[in-house]
Amino acid sequence: MKVVVWFNEVGKEDIALVGGKGANLGEMARAGFPVPPGFIVTSDAYFYFIEQTGLKEKIAEILKGLDVDDTEDLERRTAEIRRLIESTPMLPELAVEIKNAYARLAELVGSSVFRDPPFVAVRSSATAEDLPEASFAGQQATFIYVKGPDAVIEHVKKCWASLFTARATYYRAKKGFDHMKVGLAAVVQKMVDSEVSGIMFTAHPVTGEQKIIIEAGWGQGEAIVSGAVTPDRYIVDKNSFQILEKKVSEQKVMIVRGPDGGSREVEVPPEMRAKQKLPDDKIVALAKIGVKIEEHYGHPQDIEWAMENGKLYILQSRNITTIGKFSEMRSAAEGTDAAPVLKGLPASPGYASGTVKVIRDISELSKVQKGDVLVTTMTTPDMVPAMERAAAIVTDEGGMTCHAAIVSRELGIPAVVGTEKATEVLKDGDVVTVDAYKGLVYKGVVGETGREEKKVEVVRPCRGHHITATMVKVNVAMPEAAERAARTGADGVGLLRAEHMITATGKHPAWFVRNGRTDELVEAVKKGIRTVAEKFYPKPVWYRTFDARTDEFRNLQGGEEEPEEDNPMLGWHGIRRSLDQPEIITAEFRAIKELREEGIDNVGVMLPFVIHPDELLRAKELAMEVGLVPHRDVDFGIMVETPAAALRIDDFIDEGIDFLSFGTNDLTQLTLGVDRNNALVQKHFDEMHPAVIDLISYVITTAREAGVETSICGQAGSYPSMVRRLVRLGIDSISANIDAVQKIREVVYREERRLMLEAARRSLSE
């Protein structure tokens, strides 16, 4: 058994032994790229550890009979397992190898374990890479600035223990993985103390243009990643390696390592501020490495790099998957004469082909295998696991904001909704190509891009993006998407939907109330909000209170008792229901209050579907009853999504709001009288209709005068034409879908510049 392997001893075929992260680092090291040196404590070592210490039986015993849907029990049992792993001493035969490896690493980096033990990062590297990253691998721990042999061993055990977080355990159970067979490796790698760092694209990440783009900033990468500094930007020709363009930006602050590890922000010394960060010869050297890495992987790369003592390091490299994703022009069928068999709305961008599986009943979900195209009338919360497996999703019903649309966007799966007859036209076993840029479905594998493409990651970590005066936020519905959402670098969450979070319990919130189990409801809400609010901390996260229509979640436990309404869209939902059945909203307020006590104080409350200021007043009273004081403890705002709220916005301002956000999905539906989910009338659903714009314009003007923050969280916040309009109207923030944040940020940036230019021209001509 190999307890420890060095990076250059492994490659991409060794995932079972060293996990995905380890295999990637190995692949790069072996190919001769300058990755910071390190080794991997193998998954074999982990298995040996749990076997020899008797932990294996103990863990199996603890997990016996576990119902992972019993959240409390799951949390309790997994915490016990983690405690067991962390408190069991490392076996001497493993410890000695890990210590030796660390000592050798110390020598390799020109130091010594005795004199000056080096800082390392210890990262989990999961061996079951086909489980969705955000919900599984990404949950496992990473520790930076670990120092000394004993600390390394402790942290390796912490990584192992992280295999048994409640969430990872839940997912394994749901996906049918054997808990005892999934292993975990731990990567131990030198921490680079970078004087300059940044990113490099070996092709333009959006247009695909064949040039090397390098962004560089002083200190460590975090400041660039978070957008806090504007990096230098260099463009290099891919063949001649001539530097084509250099844009040097002034940098005032940088992040450096503190004396005991950890990062801290310091001022850049004045003489360095306006200097070019990376000298010309390093720019060229880096570009050359970039081209080699691209050649190695056969695909354009998004690379993280750093320089320490004049030496360049490659920290990470991954395929650029964003190319063309934003050019809605690109089509699966471009250049072919195939005719689509179905037309619908392009609800979540992407393209894929796969085998059709028509789902008419929940019991058929297991038919959907990885890479299939899921076809159904309309998706429901219990279909989410099957949706995650699908290469694409096609529905009969729904508009841009139906369940299928929201969930697919967050999962990054192409989806075409509202085709009216997908379940009739398509049959099990048909192979189809879904072009979800255009909302078309073709029979067979069509076009050059029609090859099977599984779930694509459309969001790359956004680094060095433009800072805009108008904030660009993101909408989140599922806590599982929090990580992807945060990676967009958005300025906060402008809409955190409660519905998907609560219904993930499999139960309707009213069920908890009816069965006297509101404590569990509080826990579920807390858990969902915590996941998102932590990822964004300290940026604001506006939690919108429960707003499901009575027909939406009927198949959940307790959903069968929901009243039958002729017109649920105009019925018992939003704040009006919350006030009729206050136990639900009270539970939500309690959750927010208890999170505040944990230190999570970046959550705001947003009330949906208000038509009268009394509703706002009553909601505030309910919040106070549980000890959550509006405006003091928590920002309180409303959605403007009824013409009543828009026309009488003064009344709400008088009652007191910190912010408002346009719910253009409902505002458009109610202003134009067009059902947002009815495929037959979608062509009339136009958020840019002058009547809707007039309402929005009036509200923004009124709110600005009163000093109330304005935002938009309806689907139209992801549409460039609407966003340009809103920027001109003076909106304070835009909240877009995850897949649109980057594009929208560009649109906002441009429009703001255009406004400034126009103003400058006007003053010149005066």
Catalytic residues: 403, 713
CB of 676 to ligand PEP, least distance (A): 8
Q: Please state whether beta strands 440-443 and 431-435 pair in parallel, antiparallel, or not at all (unpaired).
A: antiparallel
CB of 16 to ligand PEP, least distance (A): 43
Torsion of CA 93, 95, 99, 105, to 10 degrees: 90
- Count H helices and E strands in the chain, helices first: 26, 29
Q: For residues 106 and 134, give the distance between their C-alpha atoms in angstroms, rounded to a whole number.
A: 33
Judged by CB under 5 A, the residue of 388, 491, 520, 641 near Mg ion is 641
Whose Cβ is closer to ligand PEP: residue 198's or residue 663's?
Answer: 663
153, 500 contact by CB (below 8 A): no
> What is the pattern of x (binds ligand PEP, CB under 6 A) and - over residues 659-688?
----xxxx----------------------
Query: How many CB atoms neighbour CB 759 within 10 A?
Result: 10
CB of 607 to ligand PEP, least distance (A): 12
Give the closest residue to 601 by CA, choosing from 536, 650, 549, 554: 536
- Burial 509-520, CB ≥16 within 10 A → b, else e: bbbbbeeeebeb
Q: For residues 136 and 544, give the distance between their C-alpha atoms in angstroms, rounded to a whole number.
A: 27
Residue 304 interaction partner, one of ligand PEP, Mg ion, none, beta carbon < 5-8 Å per kind:
none
**Interacting positions 373-402 with ligand PEP (CB under 6 A):** 401
Q: Phi first, then psi: what are they for 416, rounded to 5°?
A: -120, 120
Residue 78 interaction partner, one of ligand PEP, Mg ion, none, beta carbon < 5-8 Å per kind:
none
Q: Phi first, then psi: what are they for 442, rounded to 5°?
A: -115, 150
Judged by CB under 6 A, the residue of 184, 713, 738, 740 near ligand PEP is 713
**Interacting positions 532-561 with ligand PEP (CB under 6 A):** 547
Answer positive or negative: Cα dihedral of 433, 681, 326, 541. negative
Answer positive or negative: Cα dihedral of 297, 300, 302, 303. positive
Does position 637 interact with Mg ion (CB under 5 A)? The reply is no
Residue 714 interaction partner, one of ligand PEP, Mg ion, none, beta carbon < 5-8 Å per kind:
ligand PEP
Q: Identify the helix (H) or strand (E) that includes residue 566.
A: none
Whose Cβ is closer to ligand PEP: residue 426's or residue 607's?
Answer: 607
Whose Cβ is closer to ligand PEP: residue 558's or residue 663's?
Answer: 663
Whose Cβ is closer to ligand PEP: residue 220's or residue 677's?
Answer: 677
> What is the pattern of x (binds ligand PEP, CB under 6 A) and - over residues 489-508?
------x-------------
Q: For residues 106 and 148, give the distance between their C-alpha atoms in angstroms, rounded to a whole number.
A: 10
CB of 498 to ligand PEP, least distance (A): 10
Q: Please state whether beta strands 733-736 and 471-476 pair in parallel, antiparallel, or not at all (unpaired).
A: parallel
Q: For residues 637 and 620, give the distance between their C-alpha atoms in angstroms, rounded to a whole number.
A: 10
Does position 642 interact with ligand PEP (CB under 6 A)? The reply is no
Q: Please state whether beta strands 196-201 and 211-218 pair in parallel, antiparallel, or not at all (unpaired).
A: antiparallel
Whose Cβ is closer to Mg ion: residue 410's or residue 666's?
Answer: 666
Judged by CB under 6 A, the residue of 14, 27, 562, 641 near ligand PEP is 641
Residue 664 interaction partner, one of Mg ion, ligand PEP, none, beta carbon < 5-8 Å per kind:
ligand PEP
Judged by CB under 6 A, the residue of 22, 398, 464, 714 near ligand PEP is 714
CB of 663 to Mg ion, least distance (A): 4
Give the closest residue to 305 by CA, choosing from 278, 281, 274: 278
Give the closest residue to 413 by CA, choosing from 394, 445, 391: 391
Residue 197 interaction partner, one of Mg ion, ligand PEP, none, beta carbon < 5-8 Å per kind:
none
Choose the stretch contacting Mg ion; rule: CB under 5 A; options: 6-14, 305-313, 385-393, 664-672. Answer: 664-672
CB of 547 to ligand PEP, least distance (A): 6
Q: Phi first, then psi: what are they for 620, rounded to 5°?
A: -65, -40
Judged by CB under 5 A, the residue of 410, 435, 520, 666 near Mg ion is 666
Choose the stretch contacting ligand PEP; rule: CB under 6 A; options: 20-28, 95-103, 658-666, 737-745. Answer: 658-666
Give how many residues touch ligand PEP by CB under 6 A. 10
Q: Mind giving me the DSSP string for 135-152?
A: TTGGGS-EEEEEESHHHH
Whose Cβ is closer to Mg ion: residue 158's or residue 676's?
Answer: 676
Q: For residues 533 and 531, give the distance between their C-alpha atoms in angstroms, rounded to a whole number.
A: 6
CB of 665 to ligand PEP, least distance (A): 3
> What is the pattern of x (binds Mg ion, CB under 5 A) and - over residues 80-109?
------------------------------
Does position 733 interact with ligand PEP (CB under 6 A)? The reply is no
CA angle 383, 321, 242 (to 5 degrees): 170
Q: Phi first, then psi: what are they for 358, rounded to 5°?
A: -90, 125
Q: For residues 508 and 498, give the distance between their C-alpha atoms in angstroms, rounded to a whole number.
A: 12
Whose Cβ is closer to Mg ion: residue 129's or residue 686's?
Answer: 686
CB of 698 to ligand PEP, least distance (A): 17
Q: Which residues make up the interface to Mg ion (CB under 5 A)?
A: 641, 663, 666
Q: Which residues make up the interface to ligand PEP (CB under 6 A)?
A: 401, 495, 547, 641, 663-666, 713-714
